[in-house]
Chains A and B, each alone.
Chain A
Amino acid sequence: MPKIKSLEELRKLREETIKSMRVRKSTSTKITVGMGTCGIAAGAREVMHAILDELEKRKIDANVITVGCIGLCAEEPLVTIERGGQPGITYGKINVEKVPKLIEEHLIKGDIIDEWVISRG
Chain B
Amino acid sequence: MALYRAHVIVSIDSFSILKGAIEVKDTLIDKLKKYKLDQEVKVLEMSTLGQIKDVPVILIYPEKVVYAPVKVEDIDEIVEEHLLKGRVVKRLIKELPWLPKKPKLEEARIVLSNAGLIDPELIEEYIANDGYVALGKVVKEMKPDEVLEVIENSNLLGRGGAAFPTGLKWKFTRKAKGEPKYIIANADESEPGTFKDRLILEGDPHRIIEAMVIAGFAVGSHIGYIYIRGEYALVIERIKNAINQAHNMGFLGENIFGSDFNFEIKIHKGAGAYVCGEETALIESIEGKRGEPRTRPPYPPTYGLWGKPTVVNNVETFANVPPIIRNGPDWFKRFGTERCSGTKVYTILGNINNKGLIEVPMGISLRDVINIYGDGIPGDKKFKLAQTGGTSGSIIPESMLDVPMDYASMMEAGAALGSGALLICDETNCIVDLLKPLTHFFNYESCGKCVPCRVGTTKIYKIIERISRGGGLNTDISMLEDISKTMAATSLCGLGQAAAVPVLSAIKHFRGEIETHIFDKICPLGVCKI
* Chain A interface bracket (under 10, 10 to 19, 20 to 34, 35 or more): 35 or more
Among A19, A48, A68, residue most surrounded by chain B Cβ atoms (within 10 Å): A68
Q: Cβ of A19 and Cβ of B1 under 8 Å apart?
A: yes
Q: Cβ of A35 and Cβ of B86 under 8 Å apart?
A: yes
Cβ–Cβ < 8 Å partners of B140 in chain A: 6-7
Known: A1-B249, A65-B86. A24 touches B61 (CB 8 A): yes
Q: Cβ of A5 and Cβ of B124 under 8 Å apart?
A: no
Cβ–Cβ < 8 Å partners of B143 in chain A: none
Cβ–Cβ < 8 Å partners of A111 in chain B: none
Question: Contacting A68 at CB < 8 Å: which of B87, B130, B132, B249?
Answer: B87
Q: For window 1-55 of chain A, which residues contact chain B by CB distance below 8 Å?
A: 1, 3-7, 10, 13-14, 16-24, 26, 33-37, 40, 48-49, 52-53, 55
Q: Cβ of A5 and Cβ of B128 under 8 Å apart?
A: no
Cβ–Cβ < 8 Å partners of B258 in chain A: 3-6
Kindly count the residue-residue contacts between A and B in the assembled complex, taking CB atoms under 8 Å apart: 102
Task: Tell whether B195 is near chain A: CB-to-CB under 8 Å.
Answer: no
A101 to chain B, nearest CB (A): 20
Residue of B nearest to A36 (CB): B85
Task: Tell whether A56 is near chain B: CB-to-CB under 8 Å.
Answer: yes
Known: A35-B85, A40-B84. A26 touches B133 (CB 8 A): no
Cβ–Cβ < 8 Å partners of A95 in chain B: none
Question: Contacting A67 at CB < 8 Å: which of B1, B6, B86, B248?
Answer: B86
Task: Tell whether B98 is near chain A: CB-to-CB under 8 Å.
Answer: no
Scoring B residues 27 to 59 as 1 if CB is less than 8 Å from chain A, else 0, what string do you get?
A: 000000000000110100000000000000000
Cβ–Cβ < 8 Å partners of B248 in chain A: 1, 3
Question: Contacting B1 at CB < 8 Å: which of A4, A7, A16, A49?
Answer: A16
Task: Tell whether A117 is near chain B: CB-to-CB under 8 Å.
Answer: no
Interface of A is mostly: helix
Task: Tell whether B251 is near chain A: CB-to-CB under 8 Å.
Answer: yes
Task: Tell whether B261 is near chain A: CB-to-CB under 8 Å.
Answer: no
Task: Tell whether A73 is near chain B: CB-to-CB under 8 Å.
Answer: no
Known: A35-B86, A49-B40. A7 touches B125 (CB 8 A): no
Cβ–Cβ < 8 Å partners of B128 in chain A: 14, 17-18, 21
Known: A3-B258, A68-B85. A24 touches B7 (CB 8 A): yes
Inter-chain CA distance A5–B211, complex, in Å, is: 18
Residue of B nearest to A33 (CB): B86
Task: Tell whether B103 is near chain A: CB-to-CB under 8 Å.
Answer: no
Task: Tell whether A90 is near chain B: CB-to-CB under 8 Å.
Answer: no
Task: Tell whether B379 is near chain A: CB-to-CB under 8 Å.
Answer: no
Q: Please list the residues of chain A having a beta carbon within 8 angstroms of any beta carbon in chain B.
A: 1, 3-7, 10, 13-14, 16-24, 26, 33-37, 40, 48-49, 52-53, 55-56, 63-68
Can you give 10 A-B contacts (C-beta < 8 A)? A3-B258, A14-B133, A20-B124, A23-B4, A23-B61, A36-B85, A37-B85, A52-B4, A64-B5, A68-B87
